[in-house]
Structure 1
Amino acid sequence: MAERFFCPTMTGTEAVLEGPEAHHLIHVMRARVGDRVNLFDGLGNEYLCEVEKIGKRNVTLRVLERCAIERELPFSLTVAAPLPKGDRQRMLVEKLTELGVTALVPLVTERTVVRPGKDVVNRLGRIVIEASKQCGRNRLMTITEPQAWESFLETIEPTAAKYLAHPRESAKREGLPSSEEGMPFGSEKLEQVPVFIAVGPEGGFTSAEVDAARSRGWHLLDLGPRIMRVETAAIALAALLGVGREIVRWS
């Protein structure tokens, strides 16, 4: 995909790039007046633009064409998970953006290790922009304010499809549950309701946290006998529920 730039403040005929986006266009791409570039506004629109003026810290562009191009999943998909440590946060946000996740909720649970800082929304939001530029999404994945587990559970409507990653206590393992057991893989039902995925911290959800979810209609998913890190489990579930339904076979 061609180089893309994020511009949240678009008018009908003009766009102005500022901050990191302007710096990248001016100093990395070495733009010149008359060059054509692609912009997106994070709301579902792409723009073909022509550079009109280059300042020290901003670039003014003329809008030549606007296209409303959707590359989103056919349903809303929210992932709630405690943030992992260090660079693993970047991997989590990048991959969920690429997979089409609608929103990421940084969870605070009883066993959460990393407590989100005050700048978490802005910091992770910048990663969302960078990943969206690369993967072609025109709508930004939302990063919400951190939420405590109990508070998060109370915000979910009863009719939503809700899945919580939690290992089975017994050694007996089974395949994916059928639609009758609560997971409508391959059915049209999944596209008619918002879907929520919850992943616990490294130590897992406590029994009380699991019980609180089950009492509100959450279905438990066992991801196998191997212990996954937070970001691995979240990415795996997002791929299974999201991209897994978009794959098309070409003969």
Structure 2
Amino acid sequence: MARRCYSETPIAGDQATLDGSEAHHLLHVLRATPGMAVTLFDGSGHEFDAEVTACKRSTVELAILESRLVDRELPQPLVLGVALPKGDRQRWIVEKSVELGVTRIVPLITERSEKQGGDKLGRYVIEASKQCGRNRLMEIAEPMRWNDWLAAEAPAMGGVSDAEALAPRRWVAHPTGVRPTAAEFAQQRSTLLAIGPEGGLSDGEVEAAVAAGWEAVGLGKRILRIETAALGLVACMTIPPA
């Protein structure tokens, strides 16, 4: 299987040039030589069969052989609002959210949350997209305060008319929440998820969410860590039963 590489520059025509970290990886890790087969993607939804034509000091030039539109996105938008933890757990949430098809992550600022956001998050998205085959990049939004998040608009559903579209689903994870049924998990609906920080959301934050029309949901009687709650709920909605 050809190596997947990300082009920050939109690909048009029959030539492409990689630089920066992608070129460095090809040149110094994969030891690219002319003739090497590579699959490129640029975030547009297309992927491109390509062949290395020249390896320079800090760039790699490629010939584009074929272009195709390959859609590996979820049928409907899924936006994950989460109070990100520190360190490797933050990276893990981002990477696995990409693999599971999350449309956008919104780092949440809550009463008990750590500092949110960071320059590395975008790189984590690219690396995970290379691995899992997504051709559109999951968006990392600017951090948002809790009350602003509760009032956020859900993305429009794709491929259905306004008359056919179900109302957006707004779920906030909470230990006392009711576990959704398999049928509820399987519904194709635009969805906003809210996951609180280490130590949980405050009573006031949960009350504000319910007052704003959010439904408290849970995955059982045990207290889950941030990443477990986030990815457990996402997986229930995105991985169909056998």
Q: Structures share a fold, TM > 0.5?
A: yes
> 1:178 Cα deviation (Å)?
7.7
Describe the SS at the equivalent of 2:87.
Answer: coil
Q: 2:58 & 2:101 partners in 1: Cα distance?
A: 32
Does structure 1 retain, via aligned residues, the 8 Å contact 2:80–2:106?
yes
For structure 1, list consecutive stretches of 5 or more residues without a partner in the other structure.
none
| Ranges in structure 2 where 5+ consecutive residues have no aligned partner | 156-166
Find the counterpart in structure 2 of residue 4 from structure 1.
Answer: 4
Q: Give the 3 Å change call, closer, same or farther, for CA 216–176 of structure 1 in structure 2.
A: same
Could you tell me how far apart the structure 2 residues matched to 1:161 and 1:42 are? Answer: 27
Corresponding position of 1:162: 170
CA RMSD of aligned residues (A): 1.9
- 1:23: Cα distance to partner? 0.5
Match of residue 48 from structure 2: 47
> 2:162 — aligned with what?
none
- Residue 107 (structure 2) pairs with residue 106 (structure 1): yes
- Counterparts of 1:123-134 in structure 2, within 5 Å, are 123-134=120-131
Q: Which runs of 4+ in 1 moved over 6 A?
A: none
- 1:65 correspondence with 2:62: no
Percent identical residues: 47
| CA deviation after TM superposition for structure 1 residue 185, in Å | 3.2
Corresponding residue SS for 2:176:
coil
**CA spacing shift, 1:101–1:230, aligned 2, 3 Å:** same
- Correspondence for 1:213: 209
1:231 CA displacement: 0.9
Q: How many Å apart are 1:156 and its aligned residue?
A: 2.3
Per the alignment, in what secondary structure is the counterpart of residue 185 of structure 1? helix
**2:205 is matched by which residue type in structure 1?**
E
Deviation at 1:28, TM superposition (A): 1.1
1:202 equivalent to 2:210? Answer no
1:72-91 equivalent positions in 2, closer than 5 A: 72-91=73-92
Separation in 1, partners of 2:137, 2:212: 29
Equivalent pair of 2:23/2:60 in contact (CA under 8 Å): yes
Aligned residues, how many?
Answer: 230
Compute the TM-score of the two structures, normalised by the length of structure 2: 0.89
In 2: Cα distance, 1:157 partner to 1:210 partner: 19
Q: 1:16 corresponds to which residue?
A: 17
Please give the alpha-carbon distance, in whole angstroms, between the structure 1 residues aligned to 2:227 and 2:91.
Answer: 10
Q: Which amino acid aligns with 2:88?
A: D
- Aligned counterpart, 1:185: 185
Letter paired with 1:212:
A
Tell me how far 1:57 sits from its aligned partner: 0.7
